[in-house]
Structure 1
Amino acid sequence: MGVKLRFRSFTAIKDAETCEKYLEGHVQVLKDYGITNITTNNRQWMTLPNVHGIVAETENGEVVGGVRVHIADGVHPLPVEKAVGTMDPNVATIINEYFDDGTGELCGLWNAKSVAGIGISILLVRAGIAIVNQVRLASLFTICADYTLPMVKKVGFVVEDGLGKGGEFVYPNDSYIARVLRKMNAETLETAEEFDRNRIFDLRNNPVQHTFEMGPKGEVEIDYQLVIPKYDD
């Protein structure tokens, strides 16, 4: 019996209930790993109009993972700026270079221990990149730890060597090295590996689809609902 999940997109300020479930799960995972000082596990993102997310839900509605896309709006710093901007002011400078064409950040990736090891992190990352065409972003930044570096490189992120110490930051604590990466082109995905690029384009062209994804422990059945909802105000 395989795992069945739904990946559903939402807009933070329009869906408080989903935001709360997302935050609760994310904070729990961070606690499980002994991380309590992450700057992005605050609540501010829930109030920003430029934040869209994707949650992974079980059949009974439990949120077991998620990822967010923050659009740079020129007013609120992106999470990466808050996280490591004080260590290197050039973080803001580089983001600003991409601002006019539309840029943002893929952040807040997590999955619950109950689904650990089945490979949903890469699926959430692909889905997060897939939806950026709906919000017209030409590029995308992210910050990642060493152990997630191979995964984010697969989908086309490139390390910003000019930031920090050869691209490295000690964050969120002394036990971790983080790197700031940029996706050179969120539209063409030219730096992504072929398989990942094709999957992202497929999700972009068919944001509503029911499919089986191959993970490390076998197939995972995913019901993708990636069209960012139009909410009635």
Structure 2
Amino acid sequence: MINVRVFRAPDDPEACMRFYTGHLKLLEIYFGIAQVTSGSADWMQHENTIVIIVEDETRTKTYGGARVQVADGKLPLPIETAIGKYDPRIYSYIKKGSAEICGMWNSKEVAGMGIGSQVLARVGVVLGAQLPIDTYHVLCAPITARVGKRVGFIIDESLGNNGTFFYPKDDFLATAMVITDPFSLPHADPKEKLLISDLRENPMQTKIEVGPKGSYDVNYSLKIPSPVHSTP
């Protein structure tokens, strides 16, 4: 059984650290990248960062994850820091009501199961219905741009060179993508929309997922907790 749960970053420091070290290790070993904006640790104390974590049943082993960071004027979205020097328009573009899916990764142990290419991207879009947002951003590598399109993102041609940038290195191509209606998802694949709708309507459920290497059970816990400091 694989568990996929969500929490606000300050609520689980230990899980945040497992997420952070796993993501950093992956970037360094497989891509030779020591620093990317989504690899920063600033988000760990940010209550408007929602962490999606993929764990074993004991919640001690992390297989991957992603983050949804809501723009609130307190912590820049990773896409702002990443491409601001190439296209300063991003700073006025990101406003209240914007959020970004970032820091997506999965470990070698679950490679080929569809954790990164299916589950995490889908869950990130599922969470949009629980957040006060109207625009979703993501900065994708070429392989994940295909995943983004399936769950409803389109290339944001208003930025960079028709939406593309050389980031984080000169030989890495990144694509800025956007969802301007995170509720109705007009550009999502119809089959994917059904799966997203099911998880939105039933955020606490166990279901069988089918990936390239076969099927596996996933226990979903996708209800975002209220901020600790919120008032009734």
Quickly name the TM-score band, shorter chain normalised: over 0.9
Are the counterparts in 2 of residues 156 and 184 from structure 1 also a CA contact under 8 Å?
no
Q: What is the CA RMSD across the aligned residues, in angstroms? A: 1.4
1:7 to 4, 7, 26: 4
Q: CA deviation at 1:232?
A: 6.3
Indicate the residue corresponding to 2:62 in structure 1.
63
1:30 corresponds to 2:27 = yes
SS in structure 2 opposite 1:7? Answer: strand
Indicate the residue corresponding to 2:205 in structure 1.
209
Indicate the residue corresponding to 2:160 in structure 1.
164
Are the counterparts in 2 of residues 184 and 191 from structure 1 also a CA contact under 8 Å?
no
Question: How big is each residue's C-alpha offset from its partner over 1:59-87, in whole Å with a ceiling of 9 and x where there is no partner?
Answer: 23211110111001133221100111111
Q: CA deviation at 1:209?
A: 0.6
Pair 1:14–1:27, CA change in 2 (3 A): same
SS in structure 2 opposite 1:175? Answer: coil
Q: CA deviation at 1:134?
A: 1.7
Q: Measure, in 1, the Cα distance between the counterparts of 2:28 and 2:74.
A: 30
Q: Measure, in 2, the Cα distance between the counterparts of 1:7 and 1:119.
A: 13
1:114 corresponds to 2:109 = yes
Report the residue type matching 1:137 in the other structure.
I
Report the residue type matching 1:31 in the other structure.
E
Q: Measure, in 2, the Cα distance between the counterparts of 1:182 and 1:171.
A: 17
1:52 corresponds to 2:47 = no
1:136 to 122, 132, 135: 132
Are the counterparts in 1 of residues 155 and 177 from structure 2 also a CA contact under 8 Å?
yes
Indicate the residue corresponding to 1:152 in structure 2.
148
Q: Measure, in 2, the Cα distance between the counterparts of 1:63 and 1:134.
A: 24
Q: CA deviation at 1:231?
A: 7.1
Give the stretch that moved more between structures: 20-29 or 32-41.
Answer: 32-41
Q: Measure, in 2, the Cα distance between the counterparts of 1:63 and 1:225.
A: 15
State the number of aligned residues: 226
1:223 to 215, 219, 228: 219
Q: Measure, in 2, the Cα distance between the counterparts of 1:231 and 1:152.
A: 28
Pair 1:135–1:88, CA change in 2 (3 A): same
Q: CA deviation at 1:146?
A: 0.8
Question: How big is each residue's C-alpha offset from its partner over 1:113-152, in whole Å with a ceiling of 9 and x where there is no partner?
Answer: 1111111112111111111222222221000011111111
Report the residue type matching 1:190 in the other structure.
P
SS in structure 1 opposite 2:7? Answer: strand
Q: CA deviation at 1:47?
A: 1.4
Unaligned runs of 5+ in 1: none
- When normalised by structure 2's length, the TM-score is 0.93
Q: Measure, in 2, the Cα distance between the counterparts of 1:111 and 1:119.
A: 9
Q: Measure, in 1, the Cα distance between the counterparts of 2:92 and 2:7.
A: 29
Report the residue type matching 1:141 in the other structure.
H
Indicate the residue corresponding to 1:186 in structure 2.
182
Question: How big is each residue's C-alpha offset from its partner over 1:184-226, in whole Å with a ceiling of 9 and x where there is no partner?
Answer: 2101111101111111111111000100011111112100011
Report the residue type matching 1:86 in the other structure.
K
Are the counterparts in 2 of residues 14 and 231 from structure 1 also a CA contact under 8 Å?
no
Question: How big is each residue's C-alpha offset from its partner over 1:148-201, in whole Å with a ceiling of 9 and x where there is no partner?
Answer: 111111001111112111211000112210011111210111110111111111
Indicate the residue corresponding to 2:90 in structure 1.
91
